[in-house]
Amino acid sequence: MATTIISGKEISKAFKDRLKKSIELLKIQKENDPNAVFPGLAVIQVGSDPASSIYVNNKKKSCEEVGIVSFSYTLDDSATESELIELIEALNVDPRVHGILCQLPLPKHMDEFSVINAIDHRKDVDGFHPVNKGLLSIGRDCLVSCTPLGCLMMLKEMNIDICGKNCVIIGRSNIVGKPLAALMLAENATVTIAHSKTNNLKALCQTADILVAAIGRSGFVTADYVKPGAVVIDVGINRDPDNKVRGDVNYDEVFEVAGAITPVPGGVGPMTIAMLMQNTYQAYLSLTQS
């Protein structure tokens, strides 16, 4: 059977188009309301790391595409943690802002946990706040981290059956592996999280109906890790010495074995941004309708 390419590029476009329509409708409905507020996302960047600047610009561009108002804040590298938290606290009470995103990583003199904790969890569109993490782990509605949510949405949009399937996730980070495990468990998959200390990793991966690689090592997952016909989701974004972006999966090899596979680029990456837009809209609805 031919291998299906799961195009995050196409699926994310469909998500953003739907969102754009909902926001256009909102604008029509509130046309005559002088106090109308529309979905707004505040993006904070501390310092001028070039990779962070690219991510931040892509997020602003996506806001424009779907009709979300974006507010942009750049703090100097030398800004203190208190200054950043002061800004976050002002945004927490700003009625024009429904989502607050602080681009990571932060400079070393700042404590990421304290900064994330300062964000009103109802505006935590990255889904990193401990309240959202806790709600996710007990299966309650919450803002879910964008990358794992994007992985789940791709599977759903492709009508891939998750219930009862063996899902192996390589990677146990707080932003990808762990929240994805909670999402897959909620979909009734049998979930195993693997990491750098896992014994017999290859044999474990061969049991997976759905294999997710979130490792940060270019081409780590080769064809011999993959059960024939398995669905392979590649979260990795690695810049190789030839300056090309590659995933954690050896795409060419694994394509020959897998039943379905996400490419890099054009897979999980664009889904992450689409989910950020969706989370901002969701936060807007819950903040304005409560």
Kindly list the catalytic residues: 59, 103, 126
Answer yes or no whether residue 191 interacts with ligand NDP by CB under 6 A.
no
| Of residues 215-274, those binding ligand NDP (CB under 6 A) | 215-217, 235-238, 268-269, 272
Is the bond leading into 107 cis (omega within 30 degrees of zero)?
Answer: no
Reference 263, options 251, 276, 279; nearest CA is 251
Answer yes or no whether residue 140 interacts with ligand NDP by CB under 6 A.
no
At which residue do the structure tokens 């063996």 appear?
166
Number of residues in the chain:
290
Q: Which two tokens stand for residue 176?
A: 């990808």
Answer yes or no whether residue 280 interacts with ligand NDP by CB under 6 A.
no
Q: Distance between terminal CA atoms of the chain?
A: 49
**CA 255 to CA 5: how far, in whole Å?**
9
Answer yes or no whether residue 172 interacts with ligand NDP by CB under 6 A.
yes
Provide the 10 A C-beta neighbour count for residue 117. Answer: 16
**CA 241 to CA 36: how far, in whole Å?**
50
Residues sharing a CB contact under 8 Å with residue 99, sequence separation 6 or more, in sequence order? 39, 40, 41, 42, 123, 125, 276, 279, 280, 283, 284
Answer yes or no whether residue 197 interacts with ligand NDP by CB under 6 A.
yes
Stretch that binds ligand NDP, among 114-122, 131-139, 182-190, 210-218 (CB under 6 A): 210-218
Cβ at position 117, least distance to ligand NDP in Å: 19
Answer yes or no whether residue 170 interacts with ligand NDP by CB under 6 A.
yes
From the list 48, 57, 82, 196, which residue makes contact with ligand NDP (rule: CB under 6 A)? 196
Cβ at position 264, least distance to ligand NDP in Å: 8
Cβ at position 146, least distance to ligand NDP in Å: 7
Cβ at position 27, least distance to ligand NDP in Å: 29
Q: Which two tokens stand for residue 149?
A: 């949510």
Which residue's CB is nearer to ligand NDP, number 36 or number 51?
A: 51
C-alpha gyration radius of the chain: 19
From the list 27, 96, 109, 195, which residue makes contact with ligand NDP (rule: CB under 6 A)? 195
Answer yes or no whether residue 103 interacts with ligand NDP by CB under 6 A.
no
Which residue's CB is nearer to ligand NDP, number 76 or number 111?
A: 111
Which residue's CB is nearer to ligand NDP, number 158 or number 245?
A: 245
By CB under 6 A, the count of residues binding ligand NDP is 25
Angle 156-159-165 (CA atoms, 0-180°, nearest 5)?
A: 80
Pairing of strands 69-75, 40-46: parallel
Residues interacting with ligand NDP, by CB under 6 A? 147, 170-173, 175-177, 194-198, 201, 214-217, 235-238, 268-269, 272
